[in-house]
């Protein structure tokens, strides 16, 4: 009997144990389901989970067997930045003059008011294409309180500035040998008028400039362009002023001053630096030592593009390199418009009728910040002057030669003169092309 009791006791214990186990399982299940988002404590044998953070996101994970899980390598590799470019065109022309017969022509209309716009009609489409267009204004705008006059002391009506704006110019260089023709008052008013018209004056100042105001900084479609301008001559008119007074009115060619100015320019971190220089000897066909020596100084200091005027004829253009810095130089762009020609200056002076529009294509790599000259284009121009009576008033037009040769309204005599002009200009341009070939 004792043994039967022992069996019964074991069975009872077993039943109680099973019941207890079921209760524990039920309670545990209730706890788990009641707290589905609560993390259980890790045991020493539990593999540690690495939290994904910005620091280790995308890092290769090493498995227990030593193999590396690289995941999706294509998705993890950073994309190469895409190169993007900004392209602009900088255009420049030579001397815009206002001789006496040009003033008479501008007023030859039924209204009897000055209007120079028609002079620029034929070249307006070319100038308007530029993102930055420069011209040298070789006259003052002193106002009608002084008599309007041509050579030797130039004073033109403000309507000439209106015509330059109409043609598409936005930057006017006023530092030249005629800057002081109407003295300090005329010089300052010239810069004021240009600025009031919505253009920029370079090289002379409407008021005494601060050091950082001796040059122009322009954002041209996202390219930061610096423009500086200097003149070699003031026709002796500067002698009536002290050196300090001249310094407050006009930039003159002086190596120390130019170097100092360019250093200030570079502190502004421009993408490209343009200098417009009024220099050289009138009517000579080739640059002199003043032009070449100062071009080398400018290139050495980091100027990228150099435009020149004053000789009233077209000079050669070239790329020069000084101390590792390369610059494109046009030593003289000739006359854009004037009354100078064979009829007024004599036989052999036909080159004074010639001019050229120079287009410089500039490109900036937005990824690297590098700015380069990509191309240079020359558009030869010729100053047309005509009168049915053989005397004033004349009609003046600036003609782009290649397209004007197709104009059936122009006489064969004028076309013959344009062909001569074209050949002279192309001879200068070809000198640059030959030089480039030799360097290559």
Residue pair 133/171 in contact (Cβ under 8 Å)? The answer is: yes
CA angle 20, 21, 23 (to 5 degrees): 65
What pLDDT does 433 receive?
Answer: 63
Domains detected in the chain: 85-436 (3.60.21.10)
What pLDDT does 26 receive?
Answer: 55
What pLDDT does 79 receive?
Answer: 83
What pLDDT does 88 receive?
Answer: 98
Consecutive H or E run containing 31: helix 2-34
What is the C-alpha to C-alpha distance for residues 219 and 196, in angstroms, rounded to an integer? 19
What pLDDT does 72 receive?
Answer: 53
What's the pLDDT tens digit per position in 215-240?
Answer: 999 999 999 999 999 999 999 999 99
What pLDDT does 247 receive?
Answer: 97
C-alpha of 337 from chain center: 24
What pLDDT does 431 receive?
Answer: 75
What pLDDT does 81 receive?
Answer: 87
What pLDDT does 45 receive?
Answer: 46
For helices 289-301 and 255-267, the axis angle rounded to 10 degrees is 30
Residues of the chain with pLDDT under 50: 1-19, 22-23, 25, 27, 30-68, 437-440
What pLDDT does 80 receive?
Answer: 83
What pLDDT does 29 receive?
Answer: 52
What pLDDT does 429 receive?
Answer: 86
What pLDDT does 27 receive?
Answer: 47
What pLDDT does 58 receive?
Answer: 43
What pLDDT does 77 receive?
Answer: 74
Q: Are strands 132-137 and 85-96 parallel, antiparallel or unpaired?
A: parallel
């Amino acid at each position: 009997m004792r043994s039967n009791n022992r069996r019964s006791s074991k069975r009872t214990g077993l039943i109680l144990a099973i019941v207890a186990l079921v209760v524990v399982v039920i309670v545990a299940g209730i706890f788990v389901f009641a707290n589905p988002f609560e993390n259980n404590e890790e045991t020493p044998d539990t593999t540690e989970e690495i939290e994904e953070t910005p620091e280790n996101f995308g890092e290769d994970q090493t498995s227990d067997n030593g193999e590396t899980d690289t995941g999706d390598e294509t998705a993890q590799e950073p994309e190469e930045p895409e190169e993007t470019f900004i392209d602009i065109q900088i255009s420049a022309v030579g001397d815009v003059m206002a001789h006496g017969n040009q003033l008479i022509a501008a007023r030859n209309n039924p209204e009897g008011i000055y209007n120079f716009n028609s002079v620029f009609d034929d070249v307006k489409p070319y100038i308007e294409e530029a993102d930055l267009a420069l011209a040298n204004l070789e006259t003052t705008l002193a106002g009608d309180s002084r008599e309007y006059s041509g050579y030797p002391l130039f004073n033109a009506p403000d309507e000439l500035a209106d015509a330059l704006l109409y043609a598409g110019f936005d930057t006017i260089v006023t530092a030249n040998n005629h800057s002081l023709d109407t003295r300090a008052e005329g010089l300052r008013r010239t810069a004021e008028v240009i600025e009031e018209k919505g253009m920029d004056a370079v090289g002379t100042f409407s008021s005494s400039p601060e050091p950082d105001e001796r040059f122009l900084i322009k954002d041209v479609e996202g390219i930061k362009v610096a423009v500086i301008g200097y003149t070699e001559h003031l026709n002796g008119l500067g002698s009536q002023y002290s050196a300090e007074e001249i310094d407050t009115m006009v930039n003159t060619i002086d190596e120390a001053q130019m170097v100092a100015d360019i250093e200030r320019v570079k502190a502004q971190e421009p993408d490209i630096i343009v200098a417009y220089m009024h220099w050289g000897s009138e009517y000579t066909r080739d640059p002199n030592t003043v032009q070449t020596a100062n071009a080398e100084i400018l290139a050495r200091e980091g100027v990228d593009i150099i435009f020149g005027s004053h000789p009233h004829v077209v000079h050669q253009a070239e790329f020069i390199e000084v101390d590792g810095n390369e610059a494109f130089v046009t030593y003289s762009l000739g006359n854009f418009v004037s009354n100078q020609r064979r009829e007024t200056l004599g036989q052999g002076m036909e080159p004074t009728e010639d001019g050229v529009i120079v287009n410089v294509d500039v490109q900036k790599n937005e990824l690297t910040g590098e700015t380069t000259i990509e191309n240079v284009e020359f558009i030869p121009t010729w100053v047309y002057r005509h009168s049915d009576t053989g005397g004033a008033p004349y009609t003046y037009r600036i003609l782009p030669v290649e397209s004007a040769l197709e104009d059936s309204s122009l006489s064969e005599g004028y076309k013959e003169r344009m062909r001569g002009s074209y050949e002279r200009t192309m001879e200068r341009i070809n000198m640059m092309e030959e030089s480039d070939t030799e360097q290559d």
